[in-house]
Structure 1
Amino acid sequence: MGAFEWLVLIASIRGGNSNPRVRLWRQMNARGAAALGDGAYLLPDRAELRLQLENLREELIAAGGSAHVLRVREEAPERQAEWRALFDRSDAYARWTLAQTAWLAALPESESDARRGLRQLRKELEAIASTDYFPGEPLARARQRCNDAERQLTRHYSPGEPLSADGGIERLDRAAYQGRVWATRARPWVDRVASAWLIQRFIDPAARFLWLTDIRDCPSGALGFDFDGAAFTHVGERVTYETLLASFGLEQDGGLLGLGAMVHALDVGGVIVPEAAGFEAVLGGARQRLADDDQLLAEISQVLDSLYTHFTPTSARLAISGVES
C-alpha cells in the first residue's frame, strides 16, 4: 500500500458562544469528516474538500477563532487502515437497507406514491454515498437493491410492463407508418402515454389507438408498443419512448430529448428532472378522473405539448416561430 494523503482541520473557537462550534460540527458532519479530537477533523485529501476546508477556515477566523488546514502524508499501512476505518459507512448502509426492506413490505396502493418513495430512498442512498470516500461492496449492493426494487414496482403495479430487449434499433421511414393502428396496454402510464403522444405528434398524425386489456388480443395488423413482443418496446437501456425516437430519427430534437429524460426517470429510474413530479401528479390525477383512455391521451397531450415547448431550447423555438431564419 503506497502513501496516502489526508486533510486535517484543527480549529479553536474562543469564548462561550456555542453557535460557531455547533455550526463547525454540523458542517464537518455533513462532509462525513472523522473527529480526531476536540476541534480536529480528518478527511481524505481531495481538491473539492480542500477548497471547502479553506473556506471554512476563513469563516472561523472571521468569527474570531483560529483554524489550520494541514495536509498529512501517511505511509504506514497500519495507520492508513486505522484512518480509513473511521470512514466505514457499513452501519449507514445497514440502516438504509432496513428502511428499504420495510418500505417494500408495505407498498402503497398508488403507483405514484410508491415511485416517489423509491426516489426518496435513492436520494438517501446517494447522500450516504457522497461521504463514502472508500466505497466498496456495501454501496454496490445497496444500488443493486434499488434496481431490484424498481423492477419489483414495475411488476407489482404494471404486470404487463415489457422486459428490455437486446439488439440494435433499425432506422425506419416515417412515410411507411402513416394512418396506422397502434396498440398498447390500457390505462397508460408515463411511457405509454408519452409514446402515444410522440406517435401522434411526430410520427403518424392520423394514428388510431387501441387500448388492450390483454396484449394477446392485439390485432395482427396493429403496431404494438410498450409490451413484450411489440414492434416498439424497451431496447437495452432505452424505454419505449426513447426507442421510438431512435427508430424514426428524432434524437436531434432537444425538446423531445428533454421529455425523454423525464419519461426515462419516471419509468425505470435515473436522474429525476424537476418537472417529473408535477407531470406524474397530473397524469395520476387524470387517470383517476377519466375512465376513457382516448380522453386521457387527449388531455395529457396538452400537458406534453407544453412540456415539449418548455424543454425546447430557446434558439430552436425562435427559429420555429420565424423570428430567426
Structure 2
Amino acid sequence: MSQQSKNWLLLIHQIPPKPNALRVKIWRRLQQVGAVAIKQSVYVMPCSEQSHEDLSWTLKEIVAGGGDGSIGDVRFVAGLTDEQVIALFQTARQTDYQKIVQDANTLLTDWSTGEIDPQDPAVKGAAQVSKLQRRFDEVAAIDFFQAPERGTAEILIQDLTARLSGQSSNESAAMHTLDGLRGKTWVTRKNLFVDRIACGWLVRRFVDPSAVFKFVDADTHAPEPDQIRFDMFDGEYTHEGDRCTFEVMIQRFGLQDRGLTHLAEVIHDIDLKDTRYDRAETAGLNALLTGLAASQPDDDQRMTLGMHLVENLYAYFQRQKGKQAS
C-alpha cells in the first residue's frame, strides 16, 4: 500500500436495460456530481460527506427505477493505484476546462483586435464572461484533485473580467533586470503542467541556475518577501491577453532567441489549446508531459523531469537553427 493510500467511495450498480431513459439519467447524474467510472457500472468518488450524499441520492434513483446497487468505503491495495484513480478525475476535468479555455481564447482574440469593444452593450461582453464563469464554477466544484488546466481557465476568465472593467493588464509592468531576480523563491500552483514547467526551465536556464521553487495552493497562499509568483492570478508573471506565462516571461526578460521562439509556440499551443502555431513537435511534447503528470504526482520530481524534456526540445530547435544557418 502506497504512502498516499486513501479511502474511496464506490458505487456498484445494475440498471435494467429498459427503459433507456433511466440509464441516461443516472449517467448524467454521475457526471454532474463528478464521479468517474473505473469499470462498467462501477463509479468512484473521493471519500467525503458530500460524495456520500451524492452517491446515496443516485442509488435511491437507481432502486426507484427498478435497479439495485451498493456503496462501499474502500482502499485499493492491489491493481488500481490511488495515482491512477486521481489521473482519471484529472482527465475528466481536463476536457471540461479545455472547452472553457477555447471559448475564453476566442473572446480574448476578438477583443484584442481593437475592432470589438467589450464594454459596448451590444457586444454583451458581461453576459459572455458571466456564462464562462458559471461554467468554470460548476467544473471547479467537482475538480477534486486540481486538474492542471484549471489555472489556465481561471486566469483567462480573470483577464476577460479585467478587460470588461477597463483595467490594463500586466503588460504595462516594467521590464525586470535579470540580476534583480536572482536569489528569489519562485512560487506557483501545485500540480504542475506545461506552462509552469516551461517557466521553471526558463528561470533555471536563463535567470538563476540555483532558483528555488515552491508549489502552493493558489487560493490560500499569501505572498512573502523575496518570492516571485508565476502562472498565478495576481502573480508577477502570468498570462497576458492571448499569451501564456512562458511567452510573457521571455518578453519581459528581454530574451531574443529563435530557439526560444519556436519553443514558445509549442508551449502556447499546448497550454492555450488554440492551435495557433500548429508545430509538428507540439503533439509529442504534450504526450510526454501528460504521461509525466499521470505517472509522477510529486511536483518537485515533475518539475525536474519536465525540465529535461523542455531542455531537449530547446536543444533540438537550436540544432535546427544551426542547420538552417549553414
> Normalising to structure 2: TM-score of the pair?
0.50
Question: Larger relative CO (CA 8 A, sep 6+): 1 or 2?
Answer: 2
> Normalising to structure 1: TM-score of the pair?
0.50
Which has the larger Rg? 1
